Amino acid sequence: MARPLLLDLFCGAGGAAMGYHRAGFEVVGVDIKPQPRYPFEFIQGAALEYVAEHGPEFDAIHASPPCQAFSNARVIHGRTHPDLITPTRKTLKTVGAPWVIENVPGAPMRPDIVLCGSMFQLKSENGGLIRHRWFEFGQSFGALVPPCAHERFTVSVFGHGGHMYHGVDDWREVMGIEWMTRDELAQAIPPAYTEFIGEQLMWHVEDAA
């Protein structure tokens, strides 16, 4: 039986994609920049243009618009970046498939659920991952979210703002991502997050079918 097809917009190097794959989806990624380490089918191009043309071909859509406009780094460095979440949401609403938007806390979106590495015990011998991410759903579906458990981690390894760094191998272990470079890890979503989301989304897709 063929896997449901999920479109991964603004895909980066594929952290989110791996989680959805583990949840049972066939994944296709789209990004404006080359992604030579993306682990699944990859299309280089403008994400919103691609989904406007091809969105109806997919059973579900995930989008991770660049978060620099809303991150702590923007405040620290005084840089300005465009808000891509608003046009992404507007475009996804025209497609019809169930969709998920992911971004950092404080982004202009509805945090239907908030996930953190401590919920999934993402850790190594040097500490654990405290990295919060917001998820907004285009169509509501149930998701029982475990509580944060920061108190279990004595040292945080690259938390939301980047607190501690013990080397790229340690960071890969904590994130559950073995194929990315340091810079790619800095932007990635741990696959555990989207595997959790994907399991809920899969039930929704199967019910719709």
Q: What percent of the chain stands above pLDDT 90?
A: 63
- Is the pLDDT at 34 greater than 80? The verdict is yes
Tell me the C-alpha to C-alpha distance, in Å, between residue 1 and each of 24, 27, 63, 86. Answer: 11, 15, 26, 36
pLDDT confidence tier of residue 89, bands split at 50, 70 and 90: very high
Per-residue pLDDT tens digits for 156-180: 555 444 445 568 888 899 899 999 9
Instruction: Please state whether beta strands 41-44 and 113-115 pair in parallel, antiparallel, or not at all (unpaired).
Output: unpaired
Q: Say yes or no to pLDDT of 70 above 60.
A: no
> What local confidence, expressed as pLDDT, does residue 141 receive?
66
Which residues make Cβ contacts (< 8 Å) with residue 22, sequence separation at least 6? 191, 195, 198
User: What per-residue confidence (pLDDT) applies to 26?
Assistant: 98
Q: Are 136 and 128 in contact, with CB atoms under 8 Å apart?
A: no
100 burial type by CB count under 10 A (0-12 exposed, 13-18 middle, 19+ buried): buried
**Is-contact 206 27, C-beta < 8 A?**
no
Per-residue model confidence (pLDDT) at position 69: 53
Query: Cα(59)–Cα(7) distance, rounded to whole angstroms?
Result: 8
Over residues 123-147, mean pLDDT: 83
Identify whether the C-beta of residue 104 lies closer than 8 Å to the C-beta of residue 71.
Answer: yes
Q: Indicate if the pLDDT at residue 29 is higher than 60.
A: yes
CA distances from 24 to 29, 48, 80, 202, 203 (A): 15, 25, 38, 7, 11
Mean pLDDT calculated for residue range 41-56 = 97
Q: Which residues pair with 5 in a beta bridge?
A: 26
Tell me the mean pLDDT in the region 10-35.
98
Delineate the domains of the chain, giving CATH numbers in brackets.
5-208 (3.40.50.150)
Six-digit token string for 127: 């500490």
Task: Catalogue the E-assigned strands of the chain.
Answer: 5-9, 26-31, 41-44, 60-63, 99-103, 113-115, 123-124, 127-128, 133-137
Q: Is the dihedral of CA 67, 45, 97, 115 positive or negative?
A: negative
pLDDT reported for residue 81: 62
Question: Which residues touch 91 (CB under 8 Å, ≥6 apart)?
Answer: 48, 51, 52, 55
pTM: 0.89
